[in-house]
Amino acid sequence: MTSFRELIDLVRAYARQETIGELRGTWRWLAWGAVGAVFILLGLLFFLVGILRLIQAELIDADSGLTWVPYFIVVGITVVLIVFSQSRIRQPFLNKTTDQR
């Protein structure tokens, strides 16, 4: 009877080790990723608005019919940044030991 109780305790301890420990690491990874994503998003937003204002102030006359051009340029820069970012993603999975490509 004691060995059965020890077996149950061993299985419970193993389950806790493999699930709770991994979940803590996952939540930590997701939290830092979310914080980093927010800061990168804010930085890029300020950068793109700055580029828009620079183009509007220096290159395009407000009286001309080309007031849409700065917006088009900024959208183009945004698309280029998105494509570049997607091309640089190398780790598709959270688990570093699994190579499932």
Q: What is the pLDDT of residue 94?
A: 61
pLDDT digits (tens, 9 = 90+) for 25-80: 788 888 999 999 999 999 999 999 999 999 999 988 878 888 899 999 999 999 99
CA dihedral sign of residues 64, 67, 69, 73: positive
Question: Do residues 59 and 37 lie in contact, with contact meaning Cβ atoms separated by under 8 Å?
Answer: no
Cβ-based burial of 48 (10 A; exposed 0-12, middle 13-18, buried ≥19): middle
Instruction: Give the start-to-end residue ranges of the domains of the chain.
Output: 2-88
With tokens 């930085």, the residue in question is 43
Predicted TM-score (pTM) of the model is: 0.65
Query: Under a CB-based contact definition with an 8 Å cutoff, are residues 94 and 29 in contact?
Result: yes
Q: Which tokens go with 80?
A: 């280029």
